[in-house]
Amino acid sequence: MDANSTSVLWVTGAPGTGKSTTGWGLFRRIAEQGGSVAYVDIDQLGLIGPPPGGGDASHAIKAANLARVLDRLRQRGVRQVIVSGIVDTARGVELDDLTLVCLRCDREDLRRRFLGRGSPESLLDKLFELAEQFDRLPGQLDTTGQDSSETVSALLPHCVVAPGAVRPLTVPQAPPARVVVVSGATAVGKSTAAWGALQTLWDEGFPTAYIDTAQLGFVHPGPDPELAAAAVAALWEGYREAGAESLIIVTRELTPELRGVFGELTTIRLDAHAQTLAERVRRRARGESALLAGDELRGASVAVQDEVTARAVAEAEQRPGADVVLDTSGHTASETAAELVRLCCP
């Protein structure tokens, strides 16, 4: 492979086969070995609603947005991209330098994994039906009886593990749009509240897209604010094309690079007292939040929780400027989401 090219390995499979865990594990393993690598969760590239046209349209939006994001990663010089998530089993995927790996396991192992992550037993028949569709895809890898580290080791030889030159990247300014940026300290609850607000906006028929910059920033070497801003611009281009009229961006910090993408935006900073931040860190550690890649808190020790709490309090005390500041101390996520809806509605 050319030293300037970008290899893409897409880990897919039926729910419960471990595609997200494996994809994230590959990203971490390559980064630890000094490789130039990025990680993309395909579900993060299709967060637009009300859902346009059902499943086929959703797959098309994700595929188009993935091509846009990969273009930015290639421009930057990233050598290996790991993608995880469901593919359209009828259409497949068409990307340059792509290796598609479909994880599978025997039905008893799949049943155990699926139920073990809290999914309902009533969905098992649908799961097995879907698994049969994935069993017909190329690139099958049987993971029956394996733990995730073994699966990562099996796939590592198919990846480029090498440093790369960080090349200049042009970040275009997005066309005028209604953009609301929700920021705040670690664990203040910005993703949970913003997601709740988004669901309400979708229910009320407002065509709105959602971007969590933390989920677009998985790159080594990193962090790379310029690349993250370029990815946001790429996604917004796709969402506008799909019919979105407004955008909610969730970010810990509004960087100059991200601000430069949009001519105008409304900034909302969520605030909370130290005691509230500490409690929210504890709840995250207990698993009382959506499971997202890179979550440093899920299952974390008390020592790690204390460390993250101290960092969150320090971030909150910096109090960067914003158009609106919401003190969420003592508020539920639903209450904060309702206030965000009021501020986000056209």
In a domain, residue 171? The reply is no
What does the DSSP assignment read for 190-201?
A: HHHHHHHHHHHH
In a domain, residue 142? The reply is yes
In a domain, residue 89? The reply is yes
Whether the pLDDT of residue 53 is over 60: the answer is no
- Block residue for tokens 């970040």: 171
In a domain, residue 170? The reply is no
What is the tens place of the pLDDT at every residue in 25-37? 999 999 999 999 9
Res 163: pLDDT: 94
Q: Pull the structure tokens for residue 149.
A: 């580290």
Mark whether 262 and 223 lie in a shared domain.
yes
- Block residue for tokens 């595609």: 19
Whether the pLDDT of residue 54 is over 60: the answer is no
Q: Which residues contact 175 (CB under 8 A, 6 or more apart)?
A: 240
pLDDT band at residue 200 under the 50/70/90 scheme: very high
Beta-sheet strand order (sheet of 246-250)? 48-49, 208-212, 246-250, 178-184, 266-271, 324-327
Mark whether 299 and 331 lie in a shared domain.
yes
In a domain, residue 153? The reply is yes
Task: Write the CA distances from 63 to 20, 80, 234, integer angstroms.
Answer: 17, 18, 13
Mark whether 58 and 203 lie in a shared domain.
no
Mark whether 241 and 154 lie in a shared domain.
no
Mark whether 205 and 113 lie in a shared domain.
no
Res 31: pLDDT: 97
Res 1: pLDDT: 54
pTM of the complete model: 0.91
Q: How many domains in the chain?
A: 2
What is d(CA 176, CA 143) in angstroms, rounded to the nearest whole number? 47
Mark whether 224 and 330 lie in a shared domain.
yes
CATH number for 190: 3.40.50.300
Res 142: pLDDT: 95
Domain ranges, residue 217: 178-344
Q: Are 180 and 341 in contact (CB under 8 A)?
A: no
Q: For a pLDDT cut of 70, what percent of the chain falls above it?
A: 95
Q: Kindly state the average pLDDT of the residues 13-33.
A: 94
Q: Are 235 and 211 in contact (CB under 8 A)?
A: yes
Range of weakest confidence among 1-5, 148-152, 215-219: 1-5
Mark whether 256 and 215 lie in a shared domain.
yes
Mark whether 322 and 261 lie in a shared domain.
yes
What is the tens place of the pLDDT at every residue in 143-195? 999 999 999 999 999 999 999 999 999 888 888 788 999 999 998 999 999 99
Mark whether 329 and 185 lie in a shared domain.
yes
Mean pLDDT for all residues in the chain: 89
What is the tens place of the pLDDT at every residue in 224-276? 999 999 999 999 999 999 999 999 999 988 999 999 999 889 999 999 999 99
Range of weakest confidence among 47-56, 96-105, 286-295: 47-56
In a domain, residue 303? The reply is yes
In a domain, residue 166? The reply is no
What is d(CA 159, CA 35) in angstroms, rounded to the nearest whole number? 10
Choose one of 158, 187, 203: the last residue of a domain.
158
Mark whether 273 and 232 lie in a shared domain.
yes
Res 91: pLDDT: 64
Choose one of 107, 130, 158: the last residue of a domain.
158
Calculate the CA 103 to chain-centre distance. Answer: 20
In a domain, residue 247? The reply is yes
φ and ψ at residue 88, rounded to 5 degrees:
-75, 105
Identify the bridge partners of residue 141 per DSSP, sorted by sequence position.
Answer: 103
Whether the pLDDT of residue 341 is over 80: the answer is yes
Mark whether 137 and 259 lie in a shared domain.
no
Whether the pLDDT of residue 65 is over 90: the answer is yes
Q: Pull the structure tokens for residue 114.
A: 């699926």
φ and ψ at residue 118, rounded to 5 degrees:
95, 10
Q: Are 335 and 198 in contact (CB under 8 A)?
A: no
pLDDT band at residue 52 under the 50/70/90 scheme: low
Mark whether 182 and 153 lie in a shared domain.
no
Whether the pLDDT of residue 202 is over 70: the answer is yes
